[in-house]
Structure 1
Amino acid sequence: MDYPKSVPGIGLVNGKFVNEDVVGGLPGSLIPATWGNGVTDELLNVVKSAGLEPSESDATQLLQAIRKISQAGEDKHAADIGAANLYMANYAPAISGLKDGLVLRFTAANANTGASTFAPNGLQPKPLLSLASSALRPSEIVGGSLCSVVYSAALDSWLLVYASGGNANSGRLLGIKTITSSGVYVPTTGMKNVLVKVLGGGGGSAGIAATNGSQVSIAGGGASGSYAEAWLSAAVMGVSQVITVGAKGAAGPVGGSGGPGGTSSIGSLVSAPGGGGSLYSEAITVSSFGLFTGGYPSNTAVGGNIVNAAGAAGSPGINVSGSALAGHGGVSPLGGGGYGSSVALSQAAPGTGYGSGAGGIANATNQPSRPGGPGAPGVVIIYEYA
């Protein structure tokens, strides 16, 4: 649509219509019937495309039509014509270039199995990322998903703002449940996915023997519990799951080893064994070299689809010519191990936070026997997303 510049004698001035100037003797511009009809037909096409019946007496129809067309968003939605992980769609009018903030929608034909791209109207495919600006995980888009994407010029990528029916972790965080005692977990209404963190209990440290004037006694630290993280759907979690929180490893009694930490788990889905306790050793002579083993690390956690890790071993205690140093407790992702004490404390330092091992304790000469310290208990943390 344009002014009728090609019609001879139309009388345009600077490309636009002008009025007749009687005083100046200048004729006004002519409006050809073909041009007037063309303008009217173009406006009527907009009115009709919105499903309205043209009316001579209604001067609001063009505005109504524009609003209805905008609400329908037909220019911003198209069916996916690509393949899994390679999403493509043709829009009308065609998208001829990418602009920061451009928002489009498409109905996906296939589920994604990993990192994906999107390309409108045959333009170069660009990465399709999550709201965290990371590559998509499998099934964040499923077949039939209505997807809303926005182009980021800074990232030169499309961001997946919404995907109906998918497992995208861009949903609203409903809440965080920190579970410190065993029981039954029931998902919050509306939960679609959860991020779970499971940590086994930390091991305790051994007690130490009494010493005479030529002896020392030392204990290593307890090991930390194993750790797992997993992203699980509501379908996998089901209506409920039994939660087991691993107990802290018991403090070793006088003359006894530290106890192992307990296993933390979410049903049969994710399991994180506890850390081992350090072993009791008799007193040795000051002049002897001694290495007192810390608690052995736990077995590697199972069931985590993000992280599966074993715990950290407790540090060994050591004696070199009467210089006695107790072992430190193993550090966990959610707690610091107890410090190794080489002073005359009544009991070894416990693990702190969750899942860490107890620190060992050491006796110099002429000291009474002492108990070890307890590890820190395990924990299960569940982040619920809508």
Structure 2
Amino acid sequence: MKKISDSTSTANPNGEFTEGSPAAGVPATLIKADWLNSIQREILAAIGVAGIPQSPTDDGQLAKALKWLGSWKNLTDKPSNLTDYSITIASQVEAEAGTDNAKPMTALRVAQAIAKKITQATETAFGWAKIATAAQVATGTDTATIVTPATLATALTNSSGRLYRTIQIDASTTYTPVAQVKRIEVEIVGGGGAGAGAVALTSGQNAIGGGGGAGGYAHTILDVTDAMRAGIPVTIGSGGVAGTSTGGTGGTTSFGTFISAIGGTGGTRAVGGNTAFFTGAGGSGGRAAVGGVLPSVQGEDGANGQNNSTNGVLSCGGAGGRSQLGVAGDLQVVNTNGNAGVRGGGGSGVLSVSTTTSYTGGKGGDGCCVIREYT
């Protein structure tokens, strides 16, 4: 920008206007076109930078240009950080100490200050904690993260060797292990034999029925194979049928081709004089348990029924044999049907002195299969 002294010699020594002094011989400052044009160009340049078209009817254009040029958003070469403003930021030591109240902190310093005050929790110290991933929980070696209930439940479900569930099967079916099951433990019992019954008697006679034998017991542990996941047939042996004569034999229970347990035989009926001592033989327990890597057990024999000529109180039908997984039919009083066995237990025999009524021995308990599944 030109000073007035750049266009005329009539300016004062400071290059400024003067009104002159005729008495002292100092002329007044002459205003020349060159200087006026320079001022005009300066003003138009400011208006042009602001992007305002020159208008001869608007006397406020310079004010508008100055306002535009003074706006922050229109400034160029603006500072990009605190240092450019000559502002000192807090150091890491100052941020972690947390005592300075005059210096600003960067995002890094804020993070460093938080990390200094709040540490990760341990078994002996409070602090923040990270949540473990499913993979970390499954591995089980991380000691610095916490576990959510959902992740823990998943890990337990998938953990090796855990008891997943226990299934009791009381009717023939097909067993199919679910995907997470890797090993199974199987127990089976055959059907129990029925107790012996009695028909109506001739006067002076008594009938004694022996108890049915319990079904045999087999036990094994198997690693689940792909072939087994297609389904394993489970056959449950029926309990021996009860009647008024010798009791029926229980059926065989089997778990595929892996193990089987034979049913118990029925009790035998005996008829004799009411003053004689005689017995009705109990049925034999199922003996031919086949297969299995764990010990198998024969079923308990049914008890003999007896007619005691010297002490009638001791006369009774035989109790059924007890099974490894069930209950035997208990011995019964005179002139009453026998009691049934449960889950491979033998049915009880009868004691009859009736000349008019038949009595049925207790039915043998149906066999049973118990499966424990492990992941």
TM bucket normalised to smaller: 0.5 to 0.7
Question: Secondary structure of the equivalent of 2:286?
Answer: coil
Query: Once the 2 structures are TM-superposed, how far is the Cα of residue 360 of structure 1 from its aligned partner?
Result: 0.7
Higher gyration radius (CA): 2
Cα displacement (A) at 1:337 = 1.0
Q: Summarize the Cα distance change of 1:166–1:230 in structure 2 as closer, same or farther, 3 Å threshold.
A: farther
Offset from partner CA, 1:249-281 (integer Å, 9 cap, x none): 100x23x31111111111110111111111233
Distance 1:192 1:232 in 2: 9
Distance 1:237 1:300, change over 3 A: farther
* Residue 325 of structure 1: how far off its partner (Å): 1.4
Q: Is the 8 A contact 1:201 1:246 kept in 2?
A: yes
Contact 1:167 1:193 in 2 (8 A): no
Between the aligned partners of 2:160 and 2:179, the Cα distance in structure 1 is: 17
Q: CA deviation at 1:167?
A: 7.5
CA separation of 1:59/1:365 partners in 2, compared to 1, >3 Å: closer, same or farther?
closer
Counterpart in the other structure of 2:222: 232
Which amino acid letter does the alignment assign opposite residue 342 of structure 1? V
Task: Tell me how far apart the structure 1 counterparts of residues 227 and 295 of structure 2 sit (CA, whole Å).
Answer: 18
Question: In the alignment, what sits opposite 1:258?
Answer: 247
Deviation readout 1:311-358 (Å, 9 max, x if unpaired): 00000011121723110001112222112223222x21111x311000
Return 5+ residue gaps in structure 1 as ranges: 1-57, 68-145, 149-161
5+ long unaligned stretches in structure 2? 1-110, 121-138, 142-154
Candidates 274, 280, 288, aligned match of 1:286: 274
Work out which of the residue numbers 310, 330, 334 in structure 2 matches 1:339: 330
Rounded to whole Å, the distance in 2 between the matches of 1:357 and 1:300 is 16
Pick the aligned partner of 1:207 from 197, 206, 221: 197
Using the alignment, how far apart are the partners of 1:290 and 1:332 within structure 2?
27
Q: Quick check: 2:160–2:374 contact (8 Å CA) kept in 1? A: no
Q: Which amino acid aligns with 2:319?
A: H
Contact 2:207 2:269 in 1 (8 A): no
1:183 paired with 2:173, answer yes
TM-score (norm 1): 0.54
Task: Answer 1 or 2: which has greater strand percent.
Answer: 1
How large is the Cα RMSD of the aligned pairs? Answer: 3.7
1:369 and 1:215 map into 2 onto residues whose CA distance is 13
State how 1:285-324 maps to structure 2 within 5 Å.
285-321=273-309, 323=312, 324=315
Secondary structure at the aligned position of 1:205 is classed as: coil
Structure 1 residues 330 and 380, CA gap change in structure 2 (3 angstroms): same
- TM superposition shift of 1:303: 2.2
Q: Which structure is higher in helix share?
A: 2
In terms of mean alpha carbon deviation, does 218-227 or 208-217 score higher?
208-217
- 3-state SS in 1 of match to 2:370: strand
2:326 aligned partner, one-letter code = G
1:195 to 177, 185, 192: 185
Aligned partner of residue 233 in structure 2, secondary structure: strand
Residue 192 of structure 2 aligns with an amino acid whose one-letter code is: G
In structure 1, the residue matched to 2:260 is 271
C-alpha distance in 2, partners of 1:225/1:247? 10
CA contact (8 A) 1:188 1:384 kept: no
- Alignment match, 2:363: 374
Name the aligned partner's letter for residue 226 of structure 1. Answer: G
Q: Summarize the Cα distance change of 1:304–1:167 in structure 2 as closer, same or farther, 3 Å threshold.
A: farther
- 1:210-255 Cα offsets, whole Å, 9 max, x none, are 223321111010011111222211128722211101111100x23x
Matched with 2:207 is 217
Are the structure 2 counterparts of residues 246 and 237 from structure 1 closer, same or farther at C-alpha, using a change threshold of 3 Å?
A: farther
Q: Which residue of 1 aligns with 2:88?
A: none
Q: How many residues align?
A: 240
Alignment CA distance shift 1:176-1:344 (3 Å): same
Partners of 2:160 and 2:191 lie apart in 1 by 31
Question: CA separation of 1:236/1:331 partners in 2, compared to 1, >3 Å: closer, same or farther?
Answer: farther
Match of 1:5 in 2: none
C-alpha separation between the residues in 2 aligned to 1:217 and 1:204? 16
- 1:301 CA drift (Å): 1.7
Instruction: Report 1:1-386 matches (<5 A).
Output: 168=161, 171-173=162-164, 175-235=165-225, 238-239=228-229, 240-251=231-242, 253-254=243-244, 256-281=245-270, 283-321=271-309, 323=312, 324-345=315-336, 347-351=337-341, 353-364=342-353, 366-386=355-375
TM superposition outliers: structure 1 runs of 4+ over 6 Å? none
Q: Give the distance between the partners of 1:59 and 1:202, measured in 2 at CA.
A: 77
TM-score normalised per structure 2? 0.55
Q: Letter of the 1:272 partner, please give it.
A: A
Contact 1:210 1:217 in 2 (8 A): no
